[in-house]
Structure 1
């Protein structure tokens, strides 16, 4: 089933807000509303529902799901021709997202969306990845069971109910994400994930394209194409990206000298590390540390105490 794709950058993962059921008699319409401020996941469990978003129309049959955007105009474009029931879930995200027409468009815009995410989201020194959710899809029996679980949680105390609903929602979204991935280039995704995992586990080592070829048994050109398709960067670009992200963590979490941090993350020369860091972050490693930890203030106070 061809469908636009909602592309979310995470963390943070889209989070659950509220859920419920809605019923329509024959002849009734879905309500008209605009800019509701949350994503609205609709799953028809009985009958059919005619709904439009910004002029695009869908006729949802039993077992079909649609995600409406928080900034759109949603309305029923035709009356229900029979008794209809649906489950709705409201959710939102603090991260960057966009709607794309297909997976190729998602991957082509991934690097730009990640850059936007790092500016708008509160996470400035954390790995990020993508979640791809079909806007319109037919869901599985397993997904229906997860959704039915939301109603069962009404019997739980509120404190437990909210935790369990969030966990069930994330499991549901994960199923949708994995289901869509299986429709794309599965081989490229799996290879890219192997490269990414190898780099994460071995980044302090002198990793090179020949080393990746030997370890993963694929030609460097194929590894590069797979990484570009999935992560928007080559293996060596991802290695540099990951090392810099680890450096940022060490700068904020330790008092190690910059030279030691450079060595710990795989750089042979501190000057080269500083140059790469400044090129990517627009600030030197030392100034990055001072900006977030008040190192200069702490050093001054310590010196005064020694006098």
Structure 2
């Protein structure tokens, strides 16, 4: 099913807020609401629900889901023509998200969204990643099984029920994320993740295109093509980006000298490190430390 895609950056993972059932008889319509400040996931278990969000009308059939945005106006666009039953789940996120037309647009602005997220979510590391959730979806059997578990815990104590629902919601999101990716994109994403993992585990070492070729058994041109598709940058550019991110952690968390930090993250010359850092951050390593770290 072709659909717009909501691109979330985590951590933190979008979190569960509340859930419930709703029933509509023939002639009933969905409630009219505006800017409810949470994402509203609607899953139709039976019947058909006609709903409008801002100026777009959606028809959600049995076994399908629709995510309504927290800052939108949504309401029933037409009365139900048959008895209809839905599950609704409210969830929210802290940090960056963006609505994209398709996966190519998601991947094209991924790094930009991660950088925005780090500023909003106060993250000074390079471990942020993407979660891709279709706005309108046909739910797989596994996704439906996960969502039904939300209501198998009604007899649990509230504190235990909330923990379990959070876990169930994360499993549900994982199914949506994996079900969305096409075989072609899945192959590219898996290889790009292998490149990213190798870099994150060995960034302080001398990594070259030849090293990556030997490690992953793919030509450097193909590795670059895959990284450009998934991360928007080449492996070598990502390596520099990752080293700079790790150096920011050390600038904030240690009293090491700039030269020691440069060497620790894989820069052999402090002048090269300082130039790269200043170009990316708009201030020198020592200026960054002075601005964001308390005196030690």
Which sections of structure 2, spanning at least 5 residues, go unmatched?
Answer: none
Instruction: Name the counterpart of 1:236.
Output: 236
Describe the shift of the 1:18–1:100 C-alpha distance in structure 2 as closer, same or farther (beyond 3 A).
Answer: same
Per the normalisation by structure 1, the TM-score is 0.92
- Asked if structure 1 preserves the Cα contact closer than 8 Å seen for 2:126 and 2:242, the reply is no
Residue 253 of structure 2: aligned partner: 253
* 8 Å Cα contact 2:21/2:87 also seen in 1: yes
CA distance in 2, matches of 1:33, 1:79: 16
C-alpha distance in structure 2 between counterparts of 1:176 and 1:145, whole Å: 12
Deviation at 1:7, TM superposition (A): 0.9
2:112 is paired with a residue of what secondary structure? helix
- Kept in 2: contact 1:127–1:245 (CA 8 A): no
Give the aligned partner of residue 47 of structure 2.
47
TM-score under structure 2 normalisation?
A: 0.95
For residue 263 of structure 1, report the CA deviation from its aligned partner. 1.3
Kept in 2: contact 1:191–1:226 (CA 8 A): yes
Residue 24 of structure 1, CA deviation: 0.8
Compute the displacement of 1:119 (Å): 2.9
Match of 1:85 in 2: 85
Q: Work out the CA distance in 2 between the residues paired with 1:179 and 1:130.
A: 14
* Structure whose alpha-carbon radius of gyration is higher: 1
RMSD value, Cα: 1.5
1:54-133 maps to which residues of 2 (within 5 A)? 54-133=54-133
* Residue in 2 that maps onto 1:305: none
Counterpart Cα distance in 2 of 1:42 and 1:270: 54
What's the offset of the Cα at 1:172?
0.5
> What stretches of structure 1 of length at least 5 have no aligned partner?
299-307
**Per-residue displacement from partner, 1:235-264 (whole Å, max 9, x unpaired)?**
011101111111111222222222222111
Query: Could you say which residue in structure 2 is the equivalent of 1:211?
Result: 211
- State whether residues 103 and 184 of structure 1, in contact with CA within 8 Å, keep that contact through their aligned partners in structure 2: no
After the TM superposition, which of the residue ranges 229-238 and 103-112 deviates more from structure 2? 103-112
Instruction: Describe the SS at the equivalent of 1:155.
Output: coil
Distance 2:80 2:264 in 1: 63
Distance 1:34 1:11 in 2: 28
Aligned partners of 1:294 and 1:79: how far apart in 2? Answer: 60
Write the distance in 2 (CA, Å) between the matches of 1:183 and 1:54.
Answer: 33
Count residues with an aligned counterpart: 296
The 3 A distance-change label for structure 1 pair 32 and 184 is farther
C-alpha separation in 2, matches of 1:294 and 1:114: 25
How far does residue 113 in structure 1 lie from its aligned partner after superposition?
2.2
CA–CA distance in structure 2, aligned partners of residues 190 and 142 of structure 1: 21
How far apart are the structure 1 equivalents of 2:221 and 2:230? 14
